[in-house]
Structure 1
Amino acid sequence: MIIIKMQGGLGNQLFLYGLYKELLFLGREVKMDNNAGFIEDPLRDPVLSKLGISYDLAEDKEIRKMRDSYMDPLSRIRRKLTGRKNKDYYEALDGNFDETVLKADDIYLNGYFQSEKYFNDDSVRQELRADICKNKERYMSESDVADLRQEIANANSVSMHIRRGDYLTPVSKETYGGICTDEYYEKAMDLVKEKNPDARFYIFSNDIDWCKEKYKDTDNVSFVSLTGDDSDIKEFFLMSECRHHILANSSFSWWAAFLSAADDNKSLNIVPSKWTNTRQMKDIYASWMTRI
């Protein structure tokens, strides 16, 4: 059996689900641990069920056996004497594709595994897109997004994702800061306009007020600002329906672009040439992306 530790936000959870689907395709018995990854991350929860996605959950006894986390007195004494005999396997330190992950068995996978190479089979990718969009029409038919969805469909639309908020905290800034700069977005917008003079930019952000001030004098720009419990999912689907994409170094915009990249081989999907400051992450990039 393979157990995957579910963790992170929507985009990271989708990467883990993509790996899950590929392992099933390869004939493995694979389940998810839906608890451990959120114990120390109280701001996040498993959210893929909101998309209509389901997966097999590992039982507590299966997780304890795999991680040698039995809490009985004898097990505690044994671990003190001989050490923990767990089967944890962590993703590569550089964040790149590790083929061992697809070949190993009897293992507990801990990481984010952010690469399309972990779901390389075409049929798996098609299933992923279908799974993610199971509940899409329900969200997109709601009154707060229906008109905007139609507007995006009628325009030569460009989603522009600006990640601030949590990316400005000291720990996150060390990893993600200084990459998607003002210069990056300016250069990306110029590249889009060079090829699409009629482009209209739809800005999505976790700090939309800052964006409104920053781009208040910019032509052909709209600001997407939804509220409510499911606003992030609605914005995710709206992003995916844009024709072109300017991504942040964020798995959220990665997946929004992934959903639409297969529908239009003329689309521009612009990404920063560096994803993080601390890891190489070359395999997070896909053939349908343009790095600047």
Structure 2
Amino acid sequence: MVIVQLSGGLGNQMFEYALYLSLKAKGKVVKIDDITCYEGPGTRPKQLDVFGVSYERATKQELTEMTDSSLDPVSRIRRKLTGRKTKAYREKDINFDPQVMERDPALLEGCFQSEKYFQDCREQVREAYRFRGIESGAYPLPEAYRRLEKEIADCPSVSVHIRRGDYLEESHGGIYTGICTEQYYQEAFARMEKEVPGAKFFLFSNDPDWTREHFKGENRILVEGSTEDTGYLDLYLMSKCKHNIIANSSFSWWGAWLNDNPEKKVTAPARWLNGRECRDIYTERMIRI
């Protein structure tokens, strides 16, 4: 059996669930650990339900066995004598790790941020991420978002994801800082305006005040109204845009990937993380600047 651990926000959860689908398509017995990273206070919400997807959940007992963490006396004495016999495996780095696809039994930990993990079942992944919750009304689309959806459909729309907040902090070792700068966005705007006549930009950001101040323009519309718990609303509208300017973020990566415009243009930062080579995060359609 293989257990895939869910972690992080919606974008990360989508990569992890895509891996789950890929491993199942290969005939493996696969379950999801949606317990470990979501038990404590302050954790980010699990949001895969907006897609109406289902999965088999790993039990706490199965996780205990995988990590060899039973607290019974015999197990504790054995670990002291012979060491822990965990089956947990963390991907080597940010790039595609073939070992992830081969380990069995295993508890797989990581972000798995590459299309290569689900290349053989792309259409199955696309079908899974159909926003069934919005279609059914279980996750209602606010009226303001419905108006924006129509406007996006009726013009040469370009989504622009501007992530600030935690990306400005040094708490992550500075791996995110100084990448998606104001200059990056201005160059991306200029490229899109040149290649997409009449381009209209829809701005999505967790710092709307800063975005409103720095990216003013008649052809720029700030999308407001979502929260941490309803981020899927922004992802939904991003996926409806005809072209995309993404941040170094799994969230807008998926917004661009779910965009089904065959002529789409996707702009991404040439550097994804500071100090790390992230070659496998990029897809063939991405223009790196």
Which category of TM-score, normalised to the shorter sequence, fits these structures? over 0.9
Structure-2 separation of matches of 1:231 and 1:210:
21
Structure-2 separation of matches of 1:13 and 1:52:
14
1:168 offset after TM fit, Å? 1.6
Task: Kindly tell me the number of residue pairs found equivalent between the two proteins.
Answer: 286
Q: Which digits, 9 at most, give the CA deviation of each residue in 1:67-112, with x for residues without a partner?
A: 101011221222222211101111113x111112112210110101
* Segment drifting more, 227-236 vs 42-51: 227-236
Structure-2 separation of matches of 1:143 and 1:174:
38
1:229 to 1:282, Cα distance in 2 relative to 1, 3 A: closer
Structure-2 separation of matches of 1:226 and 1:173:
31
Look up the match of 2:272: 275
1:237 to 1:176, Cα distance in 2 relative to 1, 3 A: same
What amino acid is aligned across from residue 14 of structure 1 in structure 2?
Answer: M
Please tell me whether residue 135 in structure 1 is matched to residue 133 in structure 2.
yes
Please tell me whether residue 59 in structure 1 is matched to residue 59 in structure 2.
yes
Contact 2:12 2:111 in 1 (8 A): yes
- TM-score, normalisation: structure 2: 0.94
Please tell me whether residue 31 in structure 1 is matched to residue 31 in structure 2.
yes
1:118 to 1:229, Cα distance in 2 relative to 1, 3 A: closer
SS in 1 for 2:261: coil
Aligned residue among 262, 265, 268 for 2:262: 265
Q: Which digits, 9 at most, give the CA deviation of each residue in 1:186-236, with x for residues without a partner?
A: 1111110111130000000000111001123x2310000014675311111
Structure-1 separation of matches of 2:201 and 2:151:
12
Contact 1:167 1:173 in 2 (8 A): no
1:118 offset after TM fit, Å? 0.2
Unpaired runs of 5+ residues, structure 2, are none
Contact 2:31 2:56 in 1 (8 A): yes
1:9 offset after TM fit, Å? 0.4
Structure-2 separation of matches of 1:16 and 1:277:
23
Structure-2 separation of matches of 1:45 and 1:221:
30
Identity fraction in percent: 44
SS in 2 for 1:136: helix
Contact 2:226 2:234 in 1 (8 A): no
What amino acid is aligned across from residue 104 of structure 2 in structure 1?
Answer: D
Structure-2 separation of matches of 1:2 and 1:186:
44
Look up the match of 1:223: 222
Q: 1:1-292 counterparts in 2 under 5 A?
A: 1-39=1-39, 42-93=42-93, 95-121=94-120, 124-133=121-130, 134-137=132-135, 138=137, 139=139, 141-172=141-172, 174-216=174-216, 218-227=217-226, 231-260=230-259, 263-292=260-289
Structure-2 separation of matches of 1:225 and 1:85:
49
1:154 to 1:184, Cα distance in 2 relative to 1, 3 A: same
Contact 2:31 2:57 in 1 (8 A): yes
Contact 2:156 2:197 in 1 (8 A): no
Contact 2:157 2:199 in 1 (8 A): yes
SS in 2 for 1:159: strand
Structure-2 separation of matches of 1:13 and 1:155:
31
- TM-score, normalisation: structure 1: 0.93
1:40 offset after TM fit, Å? 5.6
Contact 2:226 2:233 in 1 (8 A): no
* Segment drifting more, 126-135 vs 174-183: 126-135
1:269 to 1:163, Cα distance in 2 relative to 1, 3 A: same
What amino acid is aligned across from residue 170 of structure 1 in structure 2?
Answer: E
What amino acid is aligned across from residue 177 of structure 1 in structure 2?
Answer: T
Structure-1 separation of matches of 2:11 and 2:118:
15
What amino acid is aligned across from residue 114 of structure 1 in structure 2?
Answer: Q
* Segment drifting more, 138-147 vs 218-227: 138-147
Structure-2 separation of matches of 1:252 and 1:141:
19
Contact 1:140 1:234 in 2 (8 A): no
